[in-house]
Amino acid sequence: MDRYLSETRLLDFCEPAVVELIRARGWAALPPERRIGALYDYVQNEILFGYNESDDIPASRVLLDGYGQCNTKGTLLMALLRARGVSCRLHGFTIDKRLQRGALTGAAYWLAPRNILHSWVEVLDGERWVNLEGFILDRSYLQSVQQRFTTAQGPFCGYAIATADLRNPPVAWCGRDTYIQRDGINQDYGVFDAPDDFYARHGSNLSGVKRLIFRHVVRHRINARVSRIRRGRW
């Protein structure tokens, strides 16, 4: 199981910022049964939902940004889990970009590929692999969307959400699988020891000129919109 605990270029949990975070939060002293929940809650709610410059950035950079999406928040969560001796791996997919409509609009939506690289974290809890995807959206953002669509019933797709029940999506850690975008998955790439292996095989979501435009212009507009949604300023 050593490969599920190893540090990698992206899972850089020996970087000083990550080490200091673990020390400051007292996570080193947590008993094993509380580790997953504490780390999950931190990444879910203190690393806000937002779009980084790329999917394939290291955990320390996600921490510095203070925000992330499915792939980048997953990288940070994996780094923190491994730093505390919790085995984990990545499961890679693509999702239909329709679930991003609303969070992404105009040029941002046009730039996004039809099939967007997506991932969740699989964590070894006792003898079971548990799927963790519900950490993608911070609580404030999700609650704002729920308040906007108070009459939504049945499947909901949009605003970075694809779930069977917008009112009660399974996003809180309670020892079971958590999901918030699973219903938008359209291709399964299988499991990988680390995000490094996933991106080495499948690349990242954007390349070339589109990547430059996204990095320097579009993502800032997206993040501004996400921030407005979080504050209820639609």
In this predicted model, what pLDDT tens digit does every residue of 83-129 receive, in sequence order? 999 999 999 999 999 999 999 988 788 878 899 999 999 999 999 99
Domain ranges of the chain: 2-230
pLDDT at 207 over 70: no
How far is residue 122's CA from residue 130's CA, in Å, rounded to a whole number? 5
Q: Assign 232 a pLDDT band (cuts: 50, 70, 90).
A: very high
pTM recorded for the entire structure: 0.95
Assess contact for 56 and 204: CB atoms under 8 A: yes
How far is residue 194's CA from residue 11's CA, in Å, rounded to a whole number? 8
Average pLDDT, the chain: 94
How far is residue 225's CA from residue 229's CA, in Å, rounded to a whole number? 6
Mean pLDDT of 161-185: 97
What HEC string does the chain produce? Answer: CHHHCCCCCCCCCCCHHHHHHHHHHCHHHCCHHHHHHHHHHHHHHCCEECCCCCCCCCHHHHHHHCEECHHHHHHHHHHHHHHCCCCEEEEEEEEEHHHHECCECHHHHHHCCCEEEEEEEEEEECCEEEEECCCCCCHHHHHHHHHHCCCCCCCEEECCEEECCCCCCCCCCCCCCECCCHHHEEEEEEEECCHHHHHHHHCCCCCHHHHHHHHHHHHHHHHHHHHHHHCCCC
Fold designation for 2-230: C8orf32 fold (3.10.620)
pLDDT at 194: 98
pLDDT at 205 over 80: no
pLDDT at 139 over 80: yes
